[in-house]
Structure 1
Amino acid sequence: MTTHTVGAAPRSSARKLARFAGHYVEMVVAMLVGMMALAPLWPDAWTTLSDVDVLVMATDMTIGMTAVMLLRRHSWARIAEMAVVMYLPFVVLLVPFWLGAVSGMTLMVVGHVVMFPLMLAAMVWRRDHYWH
């Protein structure tokens, strides 16, 4: 007698989209938790400097996001890609900040505003890792 293993029915596109969106939201929540949980660990002297503050904040968010991605068994390569897109807007904006072309507030706000679509772009680019 032959037994056949029946796999799970393929997920619909709507279900895949919901899981994709849920994963994105899960990473954003993990970033916020990381930022709030780790912020008190940094010396106040560091966080009063806008350029250091944005890098500290990006680090806190990256640690939270990394924890979630590790729990979801993403590879270190995917985690590193996501970390790069999280730091990238801040690093790029540091040059105009140091030249006095943008304020500390602009550095903080624009860095965050750009980070989120970059994260989404990374997920779409590697959708085989996030779209299931």
Structure 2
Amino acid sequence: MYKKRNIARHQLAYSLEVFNGINGKPIGFLGNVSENGLMLISHLPLMTGADFDLRLKLPTEEGPEQQIRLKAHCLWCHEDVTPQHFDAGFSLQWAPPEYGRLVSALQQYFSFYEMSASA
């Protein structure tokens, strides 16, 4: 029997776009994040073994977007199950404290929590 879902699903992919930190052009979207790395979903394969300057542009309520610059090393890249998409895994070489706060916020938002009986 069908049960009504108590926990809403959230998808990170296509929520936060990732840009080339040097020329500012988009290179993909965040697929997953952790304190030590990230997965990027791109329309083109990315070179493994290469170092990348990445930039995240985050919307803010107070005005101009917040930008987080990262230095990351591409460990792997393979074709996604979605046609014409590629997944690439990065280890972070450098990230500002704002990245850690973003990871915490995203993990909290995209995690499943049981609803209390009083809710």
| TM-score using structure 1 length | 0.27
Q: Which has the higher strand share?
A: 2
Give the number of the structure with larger relative contact order, counting CA–CA contacts within 8 Å between residues 6 or more apart.
1
Q: Which has the higher helix share?
A: 1
Largest Rg, 1 or 2: 1
| TM-score using structure 2 length | 0.28
